[in-house]
Amino acid sequence: MEMWIKEAQIEDAAMTYKVKETLVTKKTKYQDLAILDTYFFGRMLVLDGIIQTTIKDEFVYHEMIAHIPLFTHPNPKKVLVVGGGDGGVIREVLKHPSVEKAVLCEIDGDVVEECKKYLPEISCALENPKCEVFIGDGIKYVNEHKNEFDVIIVDSTDPFGAAEGLFGGSFYEKIKECLTEDGIFIAQTETPFYLPEVVKKVFNDSKAIFKITKLFMAAIPTYPGGYWSFTIGSKKYDPENVDLSIYEDLDTKYYTKKIHKAAFVLPKYVEDLIK
């Protein structure tokens, strides 16, 4: 008997993947969690029926959300990742030699533990001595740490349920206070094709708070629409004007210095969306 997982981003469209084996399913305190082994994309983390990451294409998302802000900031020493319990962003953050401490603040401890078991390629840096894992509410954590982090990365699930509070102006105001005087914030901000209203709202919220706000894109096969947006807010540094020639190349599969610049060149329909 064939088994398939279907993810519906909107009511009228869905993506399906053939499943080889179900590795774990459980109801955590916050959400339904599953880790599946699929034929084409390998093992994948699924939360509340929505695919979060897969072994085959995770590198695109994790590299782009981490390296663009970290190469934009001239000396990032302390980094906060809100969400991201799979550990992929932490793995990429710790490739930067200037980083002295990376804090992962994940509300659902079950996500961290199951990813350590079943997605070790992604979660491998969570045991690094530079990494501190804090299981708790990211909003509360940000509120309690002022002027502390050079870069804050919001690696949240979609803006529904447990992650809804991580999208919006009031949270971004607190993030600004949590950042140092030249700090940088970045968040995944959904698909402009299926959820244009979310992309527009987050961009405008960030623009109202940060001196510099830019949107960039990356191609991620398992994310709805295949084309994903990220919004970066900076107190001082423009991610498009950074001199990347001073940095050594990292071990990456998607991110390059050319991609860093090119990602900010937007299709007209996305440009029009955020005008």
**Average pLDDT of adjacent 10-residue blocks, the chain of 275 residues:** 86 92 97 97 96 97 98 98 97 98 97 98 98 96 96 78 55 95 96 93 94 98 95 98 94 98 98 95
User: Could you tell me if 139 and 35 lie in one domain?
Assistant: no
Is 234 in a helix, a strand, or coil? strand
189 annotated binding-site participant: no
User: Could you tell me if 11 and 123 lie in one domain?
Assistant: no
In terms of Cα–Cα distance, which of 206, 252, 255, 194 is closest to 231? 206
157 annotated binding-site participant: yes
User: Could you tell me if 66 and 135 lie in one domain?
Assistant: yes
> How many helices and strands in the chain, by DSSP H and E?
9, 12
Tens of pLDDT, residue by residue over 198-234, are 999 999 999 999 999 999 999 999 999 999 999 999 9
pLDDT at 216: 98
Q: Please, what is the Cα angle at 35 between 34 and 38, to 5 degrees?
A: 125
Q: Tell me the C-alpha distance between 200 and 192, whole Å.
A: 8
* C-alpha atoms less than 13 angstroms from C-alpha of 53 in its C-beta half-sphere: 25
> From the CA atom positions of the chain, what is the Rg in Å?
18
User: Could you tell me if 261 and 210 lie in one domain?
Assistant: yes
Give Cα 41 distance to the centre of its chain.
19
Q: Tell me the C-alpha distance between 31 and 251, whole Å.
A: 34
Q: Tell me the C-alpha distance between 246 and 26, whole Å.
A: 47
31 annotated binding-site participant: yes
Q: What is the DSSP letter of 248?
A: P
Q: What's the total number of domains in the chain?
A: 2
Q: What is the CATH number of the domain that holds 193?
A: 3.40.50.150
User: Could you tell me if 85 and 8 lie in one domain?
Assistant: no
pLDDT at 87: 98
User: Could you tell me if 224 and 246 lie in one domain?
Assistant: yes
Here the tokens at position 222 are 């398992």
Strands (E), the chain: 3-10, 13-27, 32-38, 42-47, 50-54, 78-83, 101-106, 131-135, 149-155, 179-188, 212-219, 227-234
25 annotated binding-site participant: no
Is 243 in a helix, a strand, or coil? coil
Full domain range(s) for residue 88 = 58-274
260 annotated binding-site participant: no
User: Could you tell me if 49 and 141 lie in one domain?
Assistant: no
272 annotated binding-site participant: no
Q: Which amino acid is at 238?
A: D
User: Could you tell me if 31 and 98 lie in one domain?
Assistant: no
Catalytic site positions: 155
pLDDT at 193: 93
145 annotated binding-site participant: no
User: Could you tell me if 148 and 84 lie in one domain?
Assistant: yes
User: Could you tell me if 173 and 41 lie in one domain?
Assistant: no
User: Could you tell me if 28 and 128 lie in one domain?
Assistant: no
